[in-house]
Amino acid sequence: MVGTMADISSLRSRVSGPVLTPTDEGFTDEVFSWNTSVVNTPDVVVGAAAASDVLEAVFFARDNGLSVAVQSTGHGGVAVTGGLLITTSRLNIVAIDAGTRIATIGAGVRWGQVVAAAAEHGLAPIAGSSATVGVVGYLLGGGLGPLSRSHGFSSDYARGFTVVTPDGRVVEATADTSPDLFWALRGGRFGLGIVTGVRVELVELATLYGGALLFDGDDIEQALRAWVDYTATTDPQVSTSAAITRLPDIPQVPEPLRGHTLLSVRFAYPGDVETGARLAAPLREIAPVYLDVLDEMPAAAIAMIHNDPPDPGPGWTSGRLLTSIDQRFVDVLLAHVGVNKQTPLLGVEVRQQGSATAVDVPEGSAVGGRSGNFTLMVIGVPDPSLFETVVPGAANALFGSLAAWISPENTINFAEHSPDGAAVSWSPEQQARLNEVRDRYTQSLV
């Protein structure tokens, strides 16, 4: 039950951003989710324009018995029903200290903004595959990006979070101050308060050898089988993944790709072009290459490696961790999503992990799934009428057939639509410690 209009007016007078209820103009835009199949229907939304707005919103929720949720971009795919929603898109400042290589990032910032700001100094964040994903939501889940094998989970580079707790405290969580909360925020995702800003360490990286090799229809099986063999000896500094995507025959898709089913073998090596080209050479031989967009690239263009869709739209994804892959895995995968199969799965992606992702930070973190050697992600066709049963049915049939390769663990950023995702994304020891931290700091706020 939302507070009275007098309460709402009073809240409006105390915050600098908008405070909107469902009948107010601008409400629909304020609660808009990047995943347009998700419709948020909170009782009230506070568009935080300053960290103090978050505090006021939290006090208001507490005084009126409202639950509190937070949205940065809406990539997370979970609808907010009732209660108070805090949107963070106005907390959009990025400041780079080139001397210390620290980026100070507001809670509403997306990775693309940090990548661009850091590149002006020859630096780069260890970002995710998509420029439009929010930094904070992503980091709270650990984060596996295009440089995961060379650099590890993105949250390994977090150096401090500013968090508002339900009792109205502003906590600076770092390795030295509130280290237990800092441990939890690096991968523990839920129930840890509302982050208003984060500081991440950047790496020196102006260019990398990266991009993708695309293989068309009939060549996909040969290329995929050879990529699987390649992963047995991938250089520890190389991150690679393979994605089968059915590109629709629509004008928005560029002409050479339109209407094709393609295998995209992605590659990222954060070093010199000669070594990168040498390490990628075997992949250029695995089958006839339909399109070669793998070369030296500015670090600022890193989102081009995965080429995730830049615009909002309806989305359904689900992911698992894999312990291993082999030729039998390919047989099963292609039986479900091979070129000539009818499937409501638009894409299936396997990313190799391991190397740096397997090693925790010296002080420890709540990141789950470090033992996984591959991630598997499936993406449904963008038709919300199929999201209820058809797409999940096809995804679950695939996961069921791949049970022999699926890890008992998951990592939370890839666990969407995984019924036991939250339960298996952390070890029992991590779960126990997370619960203890949550109880102490937040009493399940977010």
Ligand X SMILES: Cc1cc2nc3c(=O)[nH]c(=O)nc-3n(C[C@H](O)[C@H](O)[C@H](O)COP(=O)(O)OP(=O)(O)OC[C@H]3O[C@@H](n4cnc5c(N)ncnc54)[C@H](O)[C@@H]3O)c2cc1C
Neighbour-count burial for 117-138, b at 16+ CB within 10 Å, e otherwise: bbbebebbbbbbbbbbbbbbbb
Nearer Cβ to ligand X, position 89 or 334?
89
- By CB under 6 A, is residue 136 in contact with ligand X? yes
Q: At its nearest, how many Å lie between ligand X and the CB of residue 8?
A: 22
- By CB under 6 A, is residue 130 in contact with ligand X? yes
Q: At its nearest, how many Å lie between ligand X and the CB of residue 148?
A: 8
Q: At its nearest, how many Å lie between ligand X and the CB of residue 340?
A: 27
Nearer Cβ to ligand X, position 10 or 36?
36
- By CB under 6 A, is residue 195 in contact with ligand X? yes
Strand partners, 103: 96, 200
Q: How far apart are CA 360 and CA 381, in angstroms?
A: 36
- By CB under 6 A, is residue 144 in contact with ligand X? yes
Number of residues that bind ligand X (CB under 6 A): 29
Q: Which of 74, 160, 276, 368 binds ligand X (CB under 6 A)?
A: 74
Interface positions, 382-401, toward ligand X (CB under 6 A)? none
Q: How far apart are CA 399 and CA 377, in angstroms?
A: 10
Nearer Cβ to ligand X, position 154 or 343?
154
Own/partner pairs for 277-283, CB < 8 Å, 24+ apart? 277/209, 279/209, 279/235, 279/237, 279/238, 280/209, 280/213, 280/238, 282/230, 283/213, 283/226, 283/227, 283/230, 283/240
**421: enclosing H helix or E strand:** helix 421-424
Q: Are 279 and 269 in contact (CB under 8 A)?
A: yes
- By CB under 6 A, is residue 71 in contact with ligand X? yes
Q: At its nearest, how many Å lie between ligand X and the CB of residue 111?
A: 9
- By CB under 6 A, is residue 72 in contact with ligand X? yes
Q: At its nearest, how many Å lie between ligand X and the CB of residue 438?
A: 12
- By CB under 6 A, is residue 73 in contact with ligand X? yes
- By CB under 6 A, is residue 308 in contact with ligand X? yes
Q: Which of 17, 18, 42, 134 binds ligand X (CB under 6 A)?
A: 134
- By CB under 6 A, is residue 140 in contact with ligand X? yes
Q: Which of 64, 129, 240, 357 binds ligand X (CB under 6 A)?
A: 129
353: left (phi over 0), alpha (psi -120 to 50) or beta: beta
Q: How far apart are CA 327 and CA 324, in angstroms?
A: 11
- By CB under 6 A, is residue 18 in contact with ligand X? no
Q: At its nearest, how many Å lie between ligand X and the CB of residue 385?
A: 20
State the greatest distance between any 2 C-alpha atoms of the chain, in Å, as a whole number: 70
Tokens of 434: 């997370």
Q: For tokens 């229809």, what's the residue?
A: 217
- By CB under 6 A, is residue 434 in contact with ligand X? no
Nearer Cβ to ligand X, position 228 or 367?
367
**95: enclosing H helix or E strand:** strand 94-97
Q: How far apart are CA 280 and CA 267, in angstroms?
A: 7
Nearer Cβ to ligand X, position 17 or 137?
137
- By CB under 6 A, is residue 160 in contact with ligand X? no
- By CB under 6 A, is residue 138 in contact with ligand X? yes
Q: Which of 96, 107, 228, 424 binds ligand X (CB under 6 A)?
A: 107
- By CB under 6 A, is residue 210 in contact with ligand X? no
Nearer Cβ to ligand X, position 15 or 287?
15
Own/partner pairs for 252-258, CB < 8 Å, 24+ apart? 256/290, 256/291, 257/214, 257/291
- By CB under 6 A, is residue 76 in contact with ligand X? yes
Q: For tokens 């209660």, what's the residue?
A: 83
Q: How far apart are CA 419 and CA 99, in angstroms?
A: 45
Of the candidate spans 95-103, 122-130, 251-259, 419-427, the one that interacts with ligand X by CB under 6 A turns out to be: 122-130
Q: How far apart are CA 12 and CA 53, in angstroms?
A: 10
Of the candidate spans 5-13, 137-145, 208-216, 277-285, the one that interacts with ligand X by CB under 6 A turns out to be: 137-145
Q: At its nearest, how many Å lie between ligand X and the CB of residue 75?
A: 4
Neighbour-count burial for 284-294, b at 16+ CB within 10 Å, e otherwise: eebbebbbebb
Coil, strand or helix at 28: helix
Nearer Cβ to ligand X, position 290 or 426?
426
Nearer Cβ to ligand X, position 60 or 138?
138
Q: Tell me the residue nearest to ligand X as measured from the CB.
A: 137
Tokens of 76: 């997370």
Of the candidate spans 129-137, 239-247, 263-271, 358-366, the one that interacts with ligand X by CB under 6 A turns out to be: 129-137
Coil, strand or helix at 122: coil
Q: For tokens 């992605």, what's the residue?
A: 266
Q: Which of 31, 61, 68, 133 binds ligand X (CB under 6 A)?
A: 133
- Which residues lie near ligand X (CB under 6 A)? 70-76, 78, 88, 107, 128-130, 133-134, 136-138, 140-141, 143-145, 194-195, 308, 315, 413, 446
